[in-house]
Amino acid sequence: MTFDNIMSLITKLIDVLLVWLALYYILKNLRKNVKMVLLFKGILIIVIIKIISDILDLVTIGYLLDYVITWGPLALIVIFQPEIRNVLEQLGRSQLLGRHKVLTVDEREKMVYEITGAMESLKKDRIGALIVIERDNSLNDYIQKSKKIYADISSDLLISIFFPNNPLHDGGVIIQGDKITSAGAVFPTSDNLKISKRLGTRHRAALGISETGDCIALVVSEETGRLSIAMNGELNYNLTIDDVKMILLEELRPKKSLIMDEEEEVEEDEETPSDN
């Protein structure tokens, strides 16, 4: 095999790899964006109808679909410009190397203990709160526009931030790793029509930021004191404090830890002697 053949093979492999990476990020973002999922379904339906019209020789519908396919991409860019922009922004915010800090078991448990302690106190006093925990997708765009804090996570600090007389209590708190990075952050509100009209701005903001990335958004309702968690564009409403603890401990587990735990479980099963 000549040098030119080797270079040609490497070039083709790189080409295929780039295509697969592009498809991976597109499908990943489609899964987290409700509007983009609907858009994808609409395009799929049009393609299926076009194939059927060609098979059955449906001239009129085929003629109309030709116009739709020809001018459709331009119309979609104009109509769905905000959604396309959000997807591109999300790709820009993605951290290829994952979370900036992998927490140890003790750090993770302490973090959950402090957050849930604050939420329990805020729940009793009916004080509204919005806490957003960064994971793989960066929240630096929102941090830049909020008040920088960069302090250790503590329930007392969280409670004081959301105290009604505090000028930062209306915004959200952003947590990176084991630090409170900023407060008073403003997040995009969800325009999901399925969300209950009884839910206020905090819940809509929590759902909105969860639709644009993989963060965890925690909400304490000012009206009812109920606890909620928004993740991946879904809102889990009226949770108990134990529910919040379990979800946080599970969702904040490092991915590598999950794999190692599974391998350890398999090894333990193999080492366990049979009763037979």
The stretch 184-191 carries a mean pLDDT of 89
pLDDT at 256: 54
Residue 104 has pLDDT above 60, yes or no: yes
User: What is the length of the chain?
Assistant: 276
| SS3 assignment, position 48 | helix
Residue 130 has pLDDT above 80, yes or no: yes
Q: Which residue has the higher pLDDT, 175 or 2?
A: 175
Percent of the chain with pLDDT over 70: 78
Most confident listed range (1-10, 30-39, 124-133, 247-256)? 124-133
pLDDT at 34: 62
Q: CA-CA distance, 217 to 139, in Å (whole number)? A: 12
Q: pLDDT tens digits, residue range 196-207? A: 778 888 999 999
DSSP conformation class of 92: H
Phi then psi dihedrals of residue 247, to 5 deg: -65, -45
Residue type at position 263: E
A 10 A CB-CB count for 235 gives 21
Q: Which residue has the higher pLDDT, 229 or 18?
A: 229
For CA atoms 229, 235, 239, 245, give the dihedral sign. negative
Interstrand relation of 216-220 and 129-133 (parallel, antiparallel or unpaired)? antiparallel
| SS3 assignment, position 194 | coil
Residue 181's pLDDT band (cuts 50, 70, 90)? very high
Residue type at position 180: I
Q: CA-CA distance, 32 to 120, in Å (whole number)? A: 29
pLDDT at 230: 94
Q: CA-CA distance, 103 to 112, in Å (whole number)? A: 11
Contacts of 160 (CB under 8 A, 6+ apart): 166
pLDDT at 36: 65
Q: What kind of fold does domain 105-258 have according to CATH?
A: YojJ-like (1 (3.40.1700)
Interstrand relation of 129-133 and 172-176 (parallel, antiparallel or unpaired)? parallel
Q: pLDDT tens digits, residue range 266-275? A: 454 555 554 4
pLDDT at 51: 86
186 token code pair:
């403003």
pLDDT at 70: 79
Residue intervals in the chain for CATH 3.40.1700.10 = 105-258
Residue 97's pLDDT band (cuts 50, 70, 90)? very low
Residue 178 has pLDDT above 50, yes or no: yes
Across the chain, what does the average pLDDT equal?
80
245, 114 in Cβ contact below 8 A?
no
> What is the Cα 253 distance to its own chain's centre?
16
Lowest-confidence segment of 72-86, 134-148, 224-238 by average pLDDT: 72-86
Lowest-confidence segment of 29-33, 134-138, 142-146 by average pLDDT: 29-33
